[in-house]
Chain A
Amino acid sequence: MAAEQDSVNVTPAIEMRGISKAFGSVVANNDINLTVLPGEIHALLGENGAGKSTLMNMLSGIYRPDSGSVFVQGEEVHFASPKESIAKGIGMIHQHFKLVDVMTARDNINLGSGEGFFLSNKKLDHRIRELSDRYGLDVNPGKKVYEMSVGEKQTLEILKVLYRGARILIMDEPTAVLTPQEIDRLFAIVRNMKNEGCAIIIITHKLGEVMEISDRITVLRKGESIGTLETMKTDAATLIEMMVGRRVDLSIRRETFKHEEPLLKLDGVTVIDKDKKAALDLVGFDLFPGEILGIAGVAGSGQKELCETIAGLQHAEKGRIFFEGSNILGKSPRDIIRLGIRMGFIPEDRLGMGLVGSMDIVHNIILKEYQSQRGIVLHRGPSAEKARRIVERLDILTPSIYTPVARLSGGNIQKVLLGREIDSSPKVLITAYPVRGLDIGASYRIYDLLNEQKELGVGIIFVGEDLDVLLGLCDRILVLSCGRITGMLNARLTTKEEIGYLMAGGQGAAS
């Protein structure tokens, strides 16, 4: 140990050496090394399944490594439970917040902190204020969690771990649900923590953020650590090559389109949700053939309702939707299929809508076919042939066309869905978060497929979350905020800042 400490001037906050972990026959981590210094923001970068979460779960005491050693502040530790990890000053902020909705911020902080049940609010508030001031957090202790925005909830999560004395913070995909402005605020907090001497590990796959916030980067690929780099001395292309293992052409092809007659025209579409609030408020726009129209917005701004209303799954209060001139609003998906309206829909929840996980590829293809079959008997033959064609055309990796789709990887599940929808040669294709959860290679394959459709003159709606992708792929970007359109932008001319401003509800700049 002594020799180690001498070689680095400071004692590392975290040192993981030769960590391996296998689940059954799957090796999740293989001989991984990671050193995080105090006062450092360390990004842990890797594709899905690279082993980031497994590694961090070992640090937070959820898993135990099969081999290797972990040192915290120079002291070797063997965590048997998350409690022991917390006691050593390690706090993890999960992607899905672990907060009790009906309780106040104060109660959430107190909950499980191991302190007295009857701790006075005054004392608690005092300590919360102390911490808030020190790190620049803005939390109202008396506010109930369900009244908070996503950004506020995350701030509360951070405060919660700091309250428990965490000096080492692990953040799992912290920016996934935030607007660009909220991300800026988060980064300011993270920098404050860094200045206070905390060590911060950020798990992410968004390169832009990595370059902006981190000091050093460790890249994982297929369970192995590929290397640790200083952010200042590297660039995005190098990182991607390390993540994917080969060069990836990052430019997304983008063809121009001609403004002809719109394929799809929405006019004053209004959807009222269960709470009697407008999920969509007088939404109107045109979709042209051969165009990719991006939809940007904070999660839950009406994207889901918009897609489902067009697909006939959502009841709309008023408005009109013209498909090649005829109004289809109020038509059920069944009517839409029967009328021969060629519209494809890739919903957000692939296995909860769109596909049946326990059924094989053939039976998932039949889903869109059987309505037009005659008689009462289900004909599998044509669908099996179609399944084989789609598997071949989209290079779907599957043991056979009779494998339940839930057993395929995320990328291949998405290809089955996309393959089915484009095989019916749609005129309009609605895609909601089509690359969510896919790795970089699979994502680019999906972009290519969408571009192929675009070239065929299909009008595509692309609901996305990564603004870089929206800017690179789409022709125009429509911004939604609380169910209202706050802007329609030319993707070639706009900036992330402008989109972010409109996502947060800012007006103007509509072109």
Chain B
Amino acid sequence: MISPIKVTKRDNVPRKQTAFILTLSIVLALVFSGIVLLFFELNPLKVFGTIVTGALGTPMRIEQTLIKAIPLTIASLGILVAFKMKFWNIGGEGQIMMGALCASYVALNYGHLPPNVLLPLMAVASVAGGGIWALIPAIFKAKLGTNETIFTLMMNYIIIKIVMYLQYGPWKDPASKGFPKIPGFSENAILPEVFGVHIGWIFMILLTIAIFLFMGYTKKGYEITVVGESIGTARYAGMNVPAIIMVAMFISGGLLGFVGFVQASAIEKTLTWGLSANYGFTAIITSWLARLNAITTLFVCLAFALLLQGASYIQLSMNVPSSIADVVQGVILFFVLGSDFFLRYRVQWVGLKNAAEARVYHD
């Protein structure tokens, strides 16, 4: 195909230009979603305003925004570790579930233990569970070279169905009068609050710093990055590639498993099959948007949580169907993700005259 547009890769984009492209993409997103809203006879300005006030308007709403940012950030950190190694872990959902399942097992069976024993036990169980769930595809990849994308994706459905089975079967609360739910956790198994929000926000900040230091300043983080860039070079440098893949995936899955613990303990206060709430998938977008940098990930996730909370708020307050909120969210995402392309590539209009050359740049 001959096209009059020339696309070239670029390395260094000046900060000013980055800011300009990002701002432009957000403005375009607002304009475009505004047009969509006009179709539904809604006032775009009012909708956008409500999204912001819905996410930040009252302390209660800020808390709700934060509560969404916590699992998203921790999940994104987990995805980041795997993606840095170019291990496409799209099994975050399943790893969250497995973590939640293991934490719940501890909470339901040892609920009488004091919180300072029970909660750490639950945390360890969740990390081990999520880690092992991620380790399975990692072992297959390291030893047999299987494709991790399909493998991790399929692992999601297995664990979600297992939890569903437990919820409708063996773990069903006998006191629920036939309603399919797992019993609620004891008081001891619930994470405490700090400054009005559950303690997860402290974990979120600590883990962000920890992963930032781990990836940038430790030998293991360096090894993971080298494996991601070139397995040949990693072997050449004497790295034990299978071991690195497995360690990195255990860390990745462990972080996602920890998300399961936080959500089960602080939010659901029990185990449900819908607990992962797509955080495992959304984290793929956020960690990628943050260019796999831990600190950036925290801020991207905070912004993302704002959007999630604002969108769910307009459903309630403005009586907007949830699908319209999804459209607005999707349009904004589309433009912001799209801007990434313009940050990585230079696009020029060359006209049909010189079009033949554009093809060569694609090769």
Say if A and B assemble together. Answer: yes
* Contact A370 B229, beta carbon cutoff 8 Å: no
Q: Does B41 contact A (CB under 8 A)?
A: no
Contacts of B357 in A (CB 8 A): 62-64
Q: Which of A24, A313, A351, A366 contacts B222 (CB 8 A)?
A: A366
Contacts of B194 in A (CB 8 A): none
Is chain B's interface secondary structure helix, strand, loop, or mixed overall? helix
* Contact A378 B217, beta carbon cutoff 8 Å: yes
Q: Which of B220, B221, B229 contacts A356 (CB 8 A)?
A: B229
Q: Does B226 contact A (CB under 8 A)?
A: yes
Q: Which of B11, B222, B233, B353 has the most CB of A within 10 A?
A: B233
* Contact A356 B233, beta carbon cutoff 8 Å: yes
Q: Does A371 contact B (CB under 8 A)?
A: yes
Contacts of B230 in A (CB 8 A): 351-353, 356-357
Q: Does B175 contact A (CB under 8 A)?
A: no
Smallest CB gap from B235: residue in A: A313
Report the minimum CB–CB distance from B344 to chain A (whole Å).
Answer: 13
Smallest CB gap from B12: residue in A: A407
Smallest CB gap from B11: residue in A: A407
* Contact B360 A63, beta carbon cutoff 8 Å: yes
Smallest CB gap from A82: residue in B: B356
Bound-state CA distance A61–B355 (Å) is 12
Q: Does B14 contact A (CB under 8 A)?
A: no
Q: Which of B221, B237, B360 contacts A333 (CB 8 A)?
A: B237
* Contact B229 A377, beta carbon cutoff 8 Å: no
Report the minimum CB–CB distance from A498 to chain B (whole Å).
Answer: 34
Within 8 A of A (CB), among B228-251: 229-230, 232-233, 235-240
Report the minimum CB–CB distance from A30 to chain B (whole Å).
Answer: 18
Q: Does B109 contact A (CB under 8 A)?
A: no
Report the minimum CB–CB distance from B5 to chain A (whole Å).
Answer: 16
* Contact A354 B233, beta carbon cutoff 8 Å: yes
* Contact A64 B356, beta carbon cutoff 8 Å: yes
* Contact B220 A81, beta carbon cutoff 8 Å: no
Contacts of B233 in A (CB 8 A): 352-356, 367
* Contact A354 B236, beta carbon cutoff 8 Å: yes
Report the minimum CB–CB distance from A38 to chain B (whole Å).
Answer: 27
Contacts of A80 in B (CB 8 A): 356
Contacts of B239 in A (CB 8 A): 334
* Contact B229 A359, beta carbon cutoff 8 Å: yes
Q: Does A373 contact B (CB under 8 A)?
A: yes
Q: Which of A61, A353, A407 contacts B356 (CB 8 A)?
A: A61
Contacts of B220 in A (CB 8 A): 376
* Contact A353 B232, beta carbon cutoff 8 Å: yes
Bound-state CA distance A311–B238 (Å) is 10
Smallest CB gap from B2: residue in A: A81
Q: Does B177 contact A (CB under 8 A)?
A: no
Contacts of A335 in B (CB 8 A): 238
Please provide the 6 A-B residue pairs with the shortest distance between their CB atoms, ordered closest to farther.
A334-B238, A353-B232, A333-B238, A367-B237, A356-B229, A337-B238
Contacts from B to A (Cβ < 8 Å)? 2, 8, 11, 217-222, 225-226, 229-230, 232-233, 235-240, 353-354, 356-357, 360
* Known A366-B222, A377-B218; 10 more pairs at CB < 8 Å: A64-B356, A333-B235, A333-B236, A333-B237, A338-B238, A370-B219, A376-B219, A376-B220, A377-B217, A378-B219
What are 29 residue pairs bridging A and B, where the CB atoms are less than 8 Å apart in the complex?
A: A24-B8, A57-B360, A62-B357, A63-B357, A64-B354, A64-B356, A64-B357, A81-B356, A333-B235, A333-B237, A334-B238, A334-B239, A354-B233, A355-B233, A356-B226, A356-B233, A357-B230, A359-B226, A359-B229, A363-B222, A366-B222, A368-B237, A370-B222, A371-B237, A371-B238, A373-B219, A377-B217, A378-B218, A378-B221
